[in-house]
């Protein structure tokens, strides 16, 4: 089994077409097919079904897919790590953050990092915490700021809490109170995030812990959609206070104060690259020294 064979395998898995895959990796189609056949012979199983011109992964191919991605990602990381030993003059770091952080302090962190290490390319992925955790595990990210949850104890990730975000009730008009109890949400239809979004799980758990099942006005959105639905008056939503800074929305704090913990995470079995370690240093220094948005507090 060779790295080239795995790269060809991933190209076919992405395109579901041998000719397009060959063009993508810049090799003649017969050569690509020969290497895929050699890989299948080595593994003792067909990786693709080729019935009537349709190319699909077999069960063996499905099993190989995440492993091949991790292997090539780790090889890429190794190449970058060696390159970065020249003094962080070049390289790449792939980082992820939740929408609330991308809309608030993350841009300032990226700016400070870029000013300090202008030769390092920074790739940013914005997404829900669960999606970012999956990207870390697949080797698609080097570091990510994710929501700490009990499930993280079962994952192959190293997580270091770095800050807390206060949660508020977002509404189109003032709710008439300085603070809102969770039980008060019985009287308000909620605009709910899509399934799998960490704020959805946080909201549902908080309401159920207060003894009631919330009613939904609409559900299924990402952060921007949820905030827009609230703006037009469809309902209220529990969101980090930081996302309201550029919106015409009112934020009512919850009582008792409700917050969530953000952690910097990376795969335990893959040490961060030099560029990744430098990003972690810049982030932690920023959290210690820079003025933070209202509702964001560094973790001791």
Name residues whose C-beta falls within 8 Å of residue 49's C-beta, 6 or more positions apart in sequence. 55, 56, 57, 58
What are all long-range contacts of 103-112, with beta carbons under 8 Å and residues at least 24 apart? 103/223, 103/242, 103/243, 103/245, 103/246, 104/242, 104/243, 104/245, 104/293, 104/296, 105/242, 105/286, 105/290, 105/292, 105/293, 105/296, 106/145, 108/286, 108/290, 109/282, 109/283, 109/286, 112/282, 112/286
| pTM, to two decimals | 0.67
> Does residue 12 carry a pLDDT above 90?
yes
Task: Give the model confidence (pLDDT) of 199-238 as tens digits.
Answer: 888 889 889 988 999 999 999 888 889 999 999 999 999 9
Name residues whose C-beta falls within 8 Å of residue 13's C-beta, 6 or more positions apart in sequence. 57, 61, 65
Query: β-strand 237-240 against 250-255: which pairing, if any?
Result: unpaired
Q: Are 138 and 261 in contact (CB under 8 A)?
A: no
Query: What does CATH list as the number for 3-65?
Result: 1.10.10.10
Q: How far is it, in rounded angstroms, from Cα 36 to Cα 9?
A: 6
> Does residue 239 carry a pLDDT above 70?
yes
Examine domains 81-164+261-298 and 165-259 and report if their fold is the same: yes
pLDDT of residue 48: 92
Percentage with pLDDT > 70 across the chain: 94
- The answer to whether the Cα torsion of 10, 15, 18, 24 is positive or negative is negative
> Does residue 88 carry a pLDDT above 70?
no
Mean of pLDDT over the chain: 88
Q: Which residue has the tokens 């499905």?
A: 62
Domain ranges of the chain: 3-65, 81-164+261-298, 165-259
Arithmetic mean of pLDDT, 236-249: 88
Task: Give the model confidence (pLDDT) of 123-140 as tens digits.
Answer: 999 988 888 988 998 889
Q: Which fold has domain 165-259?
A: D-Maltodextrin-Binding Protein; domain 2 (3.40.190)
Task: Give the model confidence (pLDDT) of 259-282 as tens digits.
Answer: 888 999 999 888 888 888 899 999
pLDDT of residue 119: 85
Q: Which residue has the tokens 């780790």?
A: 74
Domain 81-164+261-298 falls under CATH 3.90.550.10 = no
Q: How far is it, in rounded angstroms, from Cα 241 to Cα 165?
A: 7
What are all long-range contacts of 81-90, with beta carbons under 8 Å and residues at least 24 apart? 81/273, 81/274, 84/273, 84/274, 84/275, 85/274, 88/117, 88/119, 88/120, 88/274, 88/275, 88/278, 89/119, 90/119, 90/120
pLDDT of residue 99: 85
Query: β-strand 216-221 against 190-193: which pairing, if any?
Result: parallel
Q: How far is it, in rounded angstroms, from Cα 113 to Cα 142?
A: 15
Confidence of residue 149 (pLDDT cuts 50, 70, 90): low
Name residues whose C-beta falls within 8 Å of residue 128's C-beta, 6 or more positions apart in sequence. 98, 99, 193, 196, 197, 198, 222
Task: Give the model confidence (pLDDT) of 179-196 as tens digits.
Answer: 999 999 999 999 999 887
Percentage with pLDDT > 90 across the chain: 53
> Does residue 61 carry a pLDDT above 70?
yes
* Token representation of residue 58: 């077999």
């Amino acid at each position: 089994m060779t790295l080239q064979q795995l790269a060809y395998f991933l190209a076919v898995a992405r395109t579901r077409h041998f000719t397009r895959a060959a063009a993508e990796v810049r090799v003649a189609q017969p050569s690509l097919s020969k290497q895929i056949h050699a890989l299948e012979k080595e593994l003792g199983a067909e990786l693709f079904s080729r019935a009537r011109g349709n190319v699909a992964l077999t069960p063996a191919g499905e099993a190989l897919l995440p492993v091949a991605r991790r292997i090539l990602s780790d090889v890429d990381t190794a190449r970058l790590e060696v390159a970065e030993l020249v003094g962080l003059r070049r390289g790449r770091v792939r980082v992820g953050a939740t929408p609330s952080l991308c809309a608030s302090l993350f841009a300032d962190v990226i700016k400070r990092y870029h000013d300090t290490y202008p030769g390092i390319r920074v790739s940013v992925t914005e997404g829900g915490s669960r999606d970012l955790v999956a990207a870390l595990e697949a080797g698609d990210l080097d570091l990510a700021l994710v929501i700490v949850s009990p499930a993280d104890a079962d994952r192959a990730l190293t997580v270091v809490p770095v800050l807390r975000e206060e949660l508020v009730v977002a509404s189109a008009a003032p709710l008439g109170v300085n603070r809102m109890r969770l039980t008060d949400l019985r009287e308000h239809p909620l605009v709910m995030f899509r399934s799998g979004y960490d704020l959805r799980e946080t909201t549902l758990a908080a309401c159920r812990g207060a003894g009631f099942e919330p009613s939904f006005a609409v559900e299924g959105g990402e952060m921007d959609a949820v905030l827009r639905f609230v703006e037009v008056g469809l309902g209220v939503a529990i969101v980090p206070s930081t996302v309201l800074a550029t919106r015409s929305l009112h934020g009512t704090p919850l009582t008792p104060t409700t917050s969530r913990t953000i952690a910097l995470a990376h795969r335990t079995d893959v040490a961060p690259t030099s560029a990744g370690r430098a990003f972690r240093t810049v982030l932690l220094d920023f959290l210690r020294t820079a003025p933070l948005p209202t509702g964001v507090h560094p973790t001791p």
